[in-house]
Amino acid sequence: MSTNQPIIIKRVKKVVGRHHGGAWKIAFADFAVAMMAFFLVMWLLSSATPEQKKAISGYFQDPVGFSTSASPYVIDLGGSPTPAPEQTLNPELQEESSLQQLEDDEELDRLMEQLEQDRLQMLLQELQAKVDENDQLRPYREQIFLSITQEGLRIQIVDNEKRPMFDLGSARLQSYFEDILYMMAGSIRSVPNKISIGGHTDAKPFAGEGGFGNWELSASRANAARRALRAGGLEDEQVARVAGYASSMLYDREHPYSPVNRRIDIVVLTKKAQLDLEDTVDEPTATEHMEEDAPAAPAGRPARERLNLFEEGVLQFDEGRG
C-alpha cells in the first residue's frame, strides 16, 4: 500500500470593501439627536426672559412642587393652565427662597466692595511709588499724604511755609504743584471711580477786595486743582464734586494757623460714597453757601467778572494767605 497522504490546500478569498454592518449609523443618529437637543436648549436659553430662566432653574431644583409663575411648566409658551392653589409653594419655602436671594445679593455686594478696595489699594501703591521714585516728586513727599478711608482713597497735598502751593492770597498754582497734579492725573484716570476735590485754608481770617474771603479762596483753589488734573488727562466726567471748605475742616485742629491746614484734598470715591453724594445733590454745598453769603461786589465791575478773574488768579488779596 502506498503511504502517501493527500495534500489539502485551503485558499482564503479576501473580499475588499466588505460591509461591516450598521452599528455606526445608530451611534451617529444618537449623536445627531444629542446635538439637536443641545442646540434646542441653547436657543431656548437665548430667547427666554429672565423670569423664564428663573423658572427653569426652579423646576430643576424642585420638579415636583415647583410653581413660581402662572404655569407649572418649565417655560410657558402660552395656553397653559393656571396652577391650582395647592400647586403654589409653601409660604415657608417662599420666605426661605427670599432669604437665600437676599443673602446672595449681600454676598455679591461684599465681593464688589472687596474688589473695589483692592483696586484703590493698588492705586495707592502706584501713587506712593511715583512719589518715592520720581525725581520731581520726591522733594515734596513730606507734603503728600495717601490713605484709605470709608469714602475711598484720600490724597492730601498740604502747604509748606517755605514751599507754598499757591501764590500769596490767590488761586494761582505754583509750577511744582502743577507737576504733582499732572503726574497723579494719569494714575487716577486709570480707575473708573469718580473723584471729589476740596480746597481748605487755615483759620487766619482775611478779607480781600470785594468781600472775598477764605470760602471763596478755598473754592477757587479747588477749581484750579481740577483744571490742572484735567490738563494732565483727567476727564471732566470723572469729577463728581469741587468744593471749598475754608477752615471748617482743619487738618491740625490744635494748631489752626499751621500751614498743613492749607491743602488740596482729592478723594477717589468708592461706589457707595459716590451714591451717597448723588443722594445729597439737592442739599446746599459749601460753594453754594459761599455764593449765598458773599456780599455784593462794588460798582464798577460785575460780580461774575470779578469771580472769574479771581479764579484765574488775576485778582489777589491785600492781607493774609488763607
Given this model, what pLDDT does residue 283 score? 54
Q: What is the pLDDT of residue 150?
A: 93
pLDDT of residue 316: 40
How confident is the model at residue 12, as a pLDDT? 61
The three grid cell numbers given for residue 282, joined into one nine-digit string: 439737592
**Fold adopted by 123-311:** 60s Ribosomal Protein L30; Chain: A; (3.30.1330)
Q: In what order do the strands lie in the sheet with 263-269?
A: 144-148, 152-158, 263-269, 195-200, 239-244
pLDDT score at 234:
96
Digit-by-digit pLDDT tens for the chain (322 residues) are 556 677 777 666 655 555 556 677 788 888 888 888 888 878 777 777 777 777 777 766 766 555 544 454 544 555 544 454 444 556 666 666 676 776 777 788 888 888 899 999 999 999 999 999 988 888 899 999 999 999 999 999 999 888 899 887 889 999 989 999 999 999 999 999 999 999 999 999 877 777 788 999 999 999 999 999 999 999 999 999 999 999 999 999 999 999 999 999 999 999 999 999 888 765 554 444 444 444 443 334 444 444 444 444 444 433 344 5
Q: Beta 239-244 vs 195-200: how paired, if at all?
A: parallel
The CB density around residue 135, as the number of other CB atoms within 10 Å, is 6
Q: Is the dihedral of CA 45, 51, 52, 54 positive or negative?
A: positive
> What would the grid cell of residue 131 be?
512719589
Query: How is 12-49 classified by DSSP, letter by letter?
Result: ----TT----SHHHHHHHHHHHHHHHHHHHHHHHHHS-
Q: Nearest 5°: CA angle at 297, between 292 and 299?
A: 145
The contacts of residue 222 (CB under 8 Å, 6+ apart) are: 197, 198, 199, 242, 243, 244, 264
115 vs 59: CA distance, rounded Å = 33
What is the secondary structure of 127-147 as a DSSP string? HHHHHHH-TTTGGGGGGEEEE
pTM for this entry = 0.58
Beta strands at 152-158 and 263-269: parallel, antiparallel or unpaired: antiparallel
Q: Where are the alpha helices (DSSP H) in the chain?
A: 23-47, 50-61, 91-133, 175-189, 214-231, 271-279, 286-293, 303-311
Three-state secondary structure call for residue 294: coil
**Cα diameter, the chain:** 156
CA 320 to each of CA 11, 159, 278, 316: distance values in angstroms, whole numbers, following the listed order = 121, 15, 35, 10
